[in-house]
Amino acid sequence: MKIAFVFPPFSHKRFEEDIDVVSREFTQPPPIGLAYAAAIAENAGHEAIIIDANYRPGLTKKQVLDRIRAFGADLLGFMLTAYMFRQTLDWIRYLKEKTGKPVVTGNILLDIYAAEIMTHSEIDYGVIGPAVRTLPALLKAIERNEQIGGMRGVCYRRGDDIIVNPPDTLREDFDILPFPARHLLPNHKYSTIISKKKNFTIMITSKGCTGKCGFCYIKNIPYSARSPERVVDEIEECNRKYGIREIEFFDPIFTLNKNRVIHICREIRKRNIKIAWACRARVDHMDEEMLDEMRAAGCRRIYYGVECGNQNILNNINKNITLKQVKDMIGLTKKRGILTLGFFLIGAPGDTVESIEETIKFALELDLDYAQFHKTMAKPAGVLYEQVKKYTGRDYWREYILGTAGEERLPSPWTEVSEEEIERLTVKAYRKFYFRPSRLFKIIAGIQSPEEFFRYVRSGIGMLMVKSDINKTGHGAE
């Protein structure tokens, strides 16, 4: 059976934590979830393509349709996320109408709102939970026109009824997952605004987090990790098979297990893999030994979750770090020639205008190379979203998926700071951080290619022209 996996283009939404220009410019990553699904399908004996319509300059619906027809697809596959749901549904509707082919969907959103998603008749099947066994079983049943019945981890319609079967009980084990099907991707097209080398890709080597941060939904996902040997096997495949010279690890916290990190680093060096890479970390899960090992193995950037510049707010969100730890670790990282990026929250639980100003001041005082300032937003199934539901008396994301609610900026009942002030202070933070003469000079001095230069120019212009999501009218591209 031939399966066409499609990744539609997306645009900024009013309920996102990033401001428009950051959402649009910061990262142009490969659709790694679809690449995993395609690899699982291929391992089960099927033929697959991935059509990424999102990377610049993007593809039109007609262009994607032409590729699907040329491929002769029997089935269409899509990844569903809360932010992209309406746009993805619009593409599903168009492509299914034009091809008449059944549609299968997946991703974590199915774990939360499977029944609501299946109210849309354009979607024929959904995969809930781990796909490594469920997807091959579903594809086999579709190919043979067999009854799905009680197949675990599948949702579908039977007549007028929506059937949602519980997920596969198999604990997700990274080591039994195939590597993403990067041979189906235009690896030369991907980048981040601060990436330096081509080809570029992202990797996921672990899921979940052992932290207990009060603002984060990831803490609800059990931690699981791929073995160091398999991680380096994938790195080696990326480098030697696909010419990839830079990797960004998208793990929530890559450095949770010190022994694992050191094992990975030493294995990279043992195999003499010349690769530059970046990862996300906590300042309290790093030390000098790890930094030395990571630097020697090609680590060139570390993204630290700083969150706030006020110790009381850090305590309030249960971050379990101190401002001194942040300063010390940034200094130790920079000492080794590793670039640093700090993630910050604007409008965190307990925040005031004064504490947000302290966060901006702290970000400027740190010797960071880059900073990203997020509006604190409630995501589906997270702790903060439970507060939003209680505050508003409604389940907005359920309504949005059902199609009964438009694109809205969700309230922030955990802070006294108004939505307008959160928007204003987020833009202020970006402008104050990046438009300092010293920061502009360092950015310009570090540019290594014309493409990187134009990424910065686009982003800089966008930062100067950004408009508040609060003041936008209508419901976006719905």
Q: Which tokens belong to 366?
A: 């740190």
Residue 64 parent element (H or E): helix 61-71
Across the chain, mean pLDDT equals 91
Q: How confident is the model at residue 19 (pLDDT cuts 50, 70, 90)?
A: confident
Q: What are the tens digits of pLDDT across the range 194-218?
A: 888 999 999 999 987 777 776 776 7
What CA–CA distance (Å, rounded) separates 369 from 119? 46
User: What is the DSSP code string of 105-116?
Assistant: EESTHHHHHHHH
Whether residue 2 is predicted with pLDDT greater than 70 in this model: the reply is: yes
Whether residue 475 is predicted with pLDDT greater than 80 in this model: the reply is no
**pLDDT classification of 298: cutoffs 50, 70, 90:** very high
pLDDT for 219 = 65
Q: Which two tokens stand for residue 422?
A: 């959160």
Classify domain 2-164 at the CATH class level: alpha beta
Q: Look at residue 442 and give its three-state secondary structure.
A: helix
Write out the residue limits of the CATH 3.20.20.70 domain(s) in the chain: 186-377+412-471
Instruction: Express each pLDDT in 160-188 by its tens digit.
Output: 899 999 988 766 678 889 999 999 999 99
Q: Measure the CA–CA gap between 382 and 214, rounded to whole angstroms.
A: 9
Across 178-332, the runs of DSSP E, i.e. the strands, are 191-192, 200-203, 206-207, 224-225, 246-249, 276-281, 299-307
At 385-420, the pLDDT tens digits run: 999 999 999 999 999 999 999 999 999 999 999 999
Query: pTM here?
Result: 0.92
* 3-state DSSP helix/strand/coil % of the chain, to nearest 5: 45, 15, 40
Tokens of 277: 């890479």
Name the pLDDT band for 471 (thresholds 50, 70, 90).
low
The sign one gets for the Cα dihedral 429, 328, 280, 294 is positive
The pair of three-digit structure tokens given for residue 469, joined into one six-digit string = 């999501």
C-alpha span between 30 and 300 (Å, rounded): 20
Could you give the CA distance from residue 50 to residue 186 in angstroms, rounded to a whole number?
9
Q: Which of 22-26, 310-314, 341-345 has the lowest mean pLDDT?
A: 22-26
Q: DSSP string of 372-439?
A: EEEE--PPTTSHHHHHHHHHHTS-HHHHHHHTSS-------TT-SS-HHHHHHHHHHHHHHHHTSHHH
pLDDT for residue 97: 97
| Residues 459, 461: Cα–Cα separation, whole Å | 5
Model confidence at 474, in pLDDT bands (50, 70, 90)? very low
pLDDT exceeding 90 applies to what percent of the chain? 75
In the structure encoding, which two tokens stand for residue 411, read together?
A: 């309230």
Closest CA to 318 of 383, 371, 257, 224: 383
Half-sphere exposure of 377 (CA within 13 A, CB side): 22
Q: What is the pLDDT of residue 477?
A: 33
The kind and range of the H/E element at 370 are: strand 370-375
Q: Is residue 369's pLDDT more than 90? A: yes
Cα(9)–Cα(53) distance, integer angstroms: 5
* The domain made up of 186-377+412-471 is a member of CATH 3.20.20.70: yes
Query: Alpha-carbon distance 465 to 462, whole Å?
Result: 5
**Rounded distance, CA 297 to CA 285, Å?**
18
Q: Which two tokens stand for residue 66?
A: 């032409």
